[in-house]
Structure 1
Amino acid sequence: MTALARFPDVASLEAVLAGLDPASADADLIPALAAAFPGFAFGVAPVDDEYWRDTRSVLRPDGTRIGELRPWMTAELAKDNGDIAAVWRRLKETDLQITEWRGTSAFVSAPTGPGAADYIQIALGREIEWRAGPIVNPNYRPWGKEELLDPAWPRQDPLPETDRLAGPLYRLLDRAGGAVIHVRSFLDRCSRVEREKREAKRPELERRVIREVGPGGTRETPFLDAVPDYFEFVPREPRFFQDWEESSARPQRVFAHWALDARDYTHKGEREVGFIPRPLKPPKERLLMTPEASVHALMDRIESVDREVGLPFGWFFLMTHGHWVEPDVGLAIAEGLKAQRVRLPDPDARVLLRWADRSYGF
């Protein structure tokens, strides 16, 4: 990235995406971004996480669009005074159809420096509109109006290519404010917001005491004496990147292996900032802790995971997510390290033992 490179902004990105021709959008996405934002080496990573938009249209068999499903169906319900069964009986005899937009995520990233967190990430949806099926399910009477306004039954079947109507289209996925992030700045934001939340509680915590009742009577300990590092807490998001920087994973880029499902929003007056990491290449099988598993067998398994995902110490970061590698695996290996029964490269051992002492997960 050059010093004069202009960081992507939402308005400019939306203009680039709107200018893509669906017929060549997949091939044109990265060149279009590079032309709009020179100086960045963009790359895209698709994620297989099918979702559906709530936007639907009503079609005639010849493809003529009558209107959006929800307002159209609301008017149809009014014709029969809200009688769901009557609307269903009437509409199932028509040849009207509905469309739906199906999408999958795609994460565009570009480095901005040499550090693990020195990159930008753009969360996109790659969406296609399909002819989903008849206006109502002819074989099943709906029992609530939402089954007519937002039908889910067509999603049970894969759709043939002949039912594709439009797309692929790319659009920003504004998942609670995390569509476009500079990761290092985002991590700083995570730390700052957490620090501000804890500082706001200082007056209360300075008054709080922990009472313990024992044979000698009641003992009171000031909370901050019991938890002296309360204000030094580091959120899990910065720790994930710190562990990457200080482990065998460092030579590889985070965005080559992980996408960040980021969020930044305010709920009930409290700001929430963070992300959930999503592996781009998860292992085929989960690594679970079993009673009979020895620490040496676990070492063989984690080495196999690393080879499969193509990342040294990759098993550790999968473990912080918790789904693909159980945290108990890491705890067992940490105990093996302490007992000098197994070995890891020194940087990885330090990271794992630090995690075992104060674990985090997503």
Structure 2
Amino acid sequence: MEPVITLIEQLTTLCNTVDTAEGIDGLTAKLKGLMPEYPFECVLSRGNWHRLGGVVDGDYRQVSDNISHWAERESQGDVDTLVAKYMGMGYFATRLAGNTHYFTAPTGRGPQEFLQLEIEELQQVVDRPLVEHDWFPDSIEEFLDPLDYPRLEPEPVGKSYYRFRRLTPIDKLVTEKSAGNDAHRKLQRFFNDWMASSACESEPFCRHWVLALREFTDRDGETRINAKPVSVFSGQLPDLPSANRLSGAELANAVHGYDRVLGYPFAWYFMMLGSTASNYTLADAVLQDQMGAYDYLPKRDLKVLREWETKPYGV
């Protein structure tokens, strides 16, 4: 494996040069050309998020691509000066409408042995008039992101583009961050359960799940990463079978049917772990069946489920 810093530089350049008009298939082909040893596939795209953009004039010509830096420079610390300076000039603030594409590539047999690549697809759109008469923000922060302010139709400004976000060796993340962190211990157990169950007989874990990663600063000022498994199932996820209404053969058919829809064995169990605790009654109902006349779980899955019963957890 090449040094990660080299890969990051190459990926940054690739994202800056690939045209979004080529689509995800075109981007995937370029990734495979850059790193043929890693079988990257786009497994999930998550959109409907945005962040602050820049400033454009009345003809949508770019004034600045970063409104935060621009406002600090132009205001010289006085938001009233900034508002007065640009009143009546017809400028607009923009935002970046985003879509994150998750690419994964297995690097070993273990469920946590994969690379996760996140690439953002960004489109600058008009958000609001930069300043309005009778609007007097109290601070630069309010100027940048006002709560009560007339918004405009998000008309595109320029072309959409890709931007490299992050490349994460998940096995390294889990190994280095697990000690002393309850959330990471649960994540490691999630991976262990996958490996111990019939789910591992299907495609690699990273073809069915990604990790939503969120950086935060703890009380000691250290940067930490919170990782939560997210299913890559496309479309509306089906509801988990109801433990209150089903049992026996009906429950067996329901959990196996759920697995078929999700595309891998024991899917209901892993989806249960990522859902609300109210769904844990499903595990209790399945175990109750296994204690009676029913035997519809593979032995390895039953072992995992009984260990969960002894010490329940969720992710």
Which residue of the partner structure matches residue 360 of structure 1? 313
Task: Answer whether contact 1:318 1:324 (CA < 8 A) is retained.
Answer: no
* Structure 1 unpaired stretches of 5+: 173-178, 199-232
Deviation of residue 78 (structure 1)?
Answer: 3.8
Which residue of the partner structure matches residue 252 of structure 1? 203
Residues 350 and 164 from structure 1, CA distance in 2 versus in 1: closer, same or farther, beyond 3 angstroms? farther
Which residue of the partner structure matches residue 201 of structure 1? none
Deviation of residue 241 (structure 1)?
Answer: 1.6
Which residue of the partner structure matches residue 29 of structure 2? 31
Deviation of residue 30 (structure 1)?
Answer: 2.2
Task: Answer whether contact 2:258 2:267 (CA < 8 A) is retained.
Answer: yes
Number of residue pairs matched by the alignment: 305
Q: Which has the higher contact order (CA 8 A, sep 6+)?
A: 2
Which residue of the partner structure matches residue 58 of structure 1? 55
Which residue of the partner structure matches residue 167 of structure 1? 160
3-state SS, counterpart of residue 161 of structure 2? strand
3-state SS, counterpart of residue 37 of structure 2? coil
Task: Answer whether contact 1:259 1:277 (CA < 8 A) is retained.
Answer: yes
Aligned AA for 2:2?
A: R
Name which of 266, 272, 281 aligns with 1:319.
Answer: 272
Task: Answer whether contact 2:137 2:143 (CA < 8 A) is retained.
Answer: no
Name which of 22, 41, 44 aligns with 1:43.
Answer: 41
3-state SS, counterpart of residue 281 of structure 1? coil
Which residue of the partner structure matches residue 261 of structure 1? 212
Name which of 295, 301, 304 aligns with 1:348.
Answer: 301
Residues 288 and 346 from structure 1, CA distance in 2 versus in 1: closer, same or farther, beyond 3 angstroms? closer
Q: TM-score, normalised by structure 2?
A: 0.79
Tell me, in whole angstroms, the C-alpha distance in 2 between the residues paired with 1:130 and 1:58.
Answer: 10
Deviation of residue 101 (structure 1)?
Answer: 0.7
Tell me, in whole angstroms, the C-alpha distance in 2 between the residues paired with 1:45 and 1:169.
Answer: 17
Task: Answer whether contact 1:99 1:129 (CA < 8 A) is retained.
Answer: yes
Deviation of residue 316 (structure 1)?
Answer: 1.0
Name which of 162, 165, 171 aligns with 1:184.
Answer: 171
Residues 81 and 113 from structure 1, CA distance in 2 versus in 1: closer, same or farther, beyond 3 angstroms? closer
Tell me, in whole angstroms, the C-alpha distance in 2 between the residues paired with 1:188 and 1:61.
Answer: 52
Which residue of the partner structure matches residue 14 of structure 1? 12
Tell me, in whole angstroms, the C-alpha distance in 2 between the residues paired with 1:298 and 1:164.
Answer: 53
Deviation of residue 356 (structure 1)?
Answer: 1.6
Aligned AA for 1:267?
A: D
Tell me, in whole angstroms, the C-alpha distance in 2 between the residues paired with 1:126 and 1:358.
Answer: 41
Tell me, in whole angstroms, the C-alpha distance in 2 between the residues paired with 1:133 and 1:157.
Answer: 5
Deviation of residue 304 (structure 1)?
Answer: 3.2
Tell me, in whole angstroms, the C-alpha distance in 1 between the residues paired with 2:161 and 2:211.
Answer: 23
Percent identity of paired positions between Structure 1 and Structure 2:
20
Aligned AA for 1:103?
A: G
Task: Answer whether contact 1:53 1:102 (CA < 8 A) is retained.
Answer: yes
Tell me, in whole angstroms, the C-alpha distance in 2 between the residues paired with 1:346 and 1:184.
Answer: 27
Does 1:294 find its partner at 2:246?
A: yes
Residues 136 and 331 from structure 1, CA distance in 2 versus in 1: closer, same or farther, beyond 3 angstroms? farther
Residues 339 and 136 from structure 1, CA distance in 2 versus in 1: closer, same or farther, beyond 3 angstroms? farther
Aligned AA for 2:56?
A: L
3-state SS, counterpart of residue 165 of structure 1? coil
Deviation of residue 333 (structure 1)?
Answer: 1.9
Deviation by residue 1:76-111 (Cα, 9 ceiling, x = unmatched):
6947468x8xx69x84x5532222111122111112
Tell me, in whole angstroms, the C-alpha distance in 2 between the residues paired with 1:265 and 1:78.
Answer: 30
* Structure 2 unpaired stretches of 5+: none
Which residue of the partner structure matches residue 261 of structure 2? 308
Tell me, in whole angstroms, the C-alpha distance in 1 between the residues paired with 2:208 and 2:157.
Answer: 31
Tell me, in whole angstroms, the C-alpha distance in 1 between the residues paired with 2:43 and 2:78.
Answer: 46
Tell me, in whole angstroms, the C-alpha distance in 2 between the residues paired with 1:324 and 1:302.
Answer: 18
- Larger radius of gyration between Structure 1 and Structure 2: 1
Deviates more, 1:329-338 or 1:105-114: 329-338
Tell me, in whole angstroms, the C-alpha distance in 2 between the residues paired with 1:158 and 1:309.
Answer: 37
Deviates more, 1:73-82 or 1:59-68: 73-82
Which residue of the partner structure matches residue 185 of structure 2? 235
Deviation of residue 328 (structure 1)?
Answer: 2.3
Tell me, in whole angstroms, the C-alpha distance in 1 between the residues paired with 2:49 and 2:199.
Answer: 31
Tell me, in whole angstroms, the C-alpha distance in 2 between the residues paired with 1:18 and 1:333.
Answer: 51
Task: Answer whether contact 1:7 1:37 (CA < 8 A) is retained.
Answer: no
Deviation by residue 1:273-308 (Cα, 9 ceiling, x = unmatched):
552001111653433757x42334544433332222
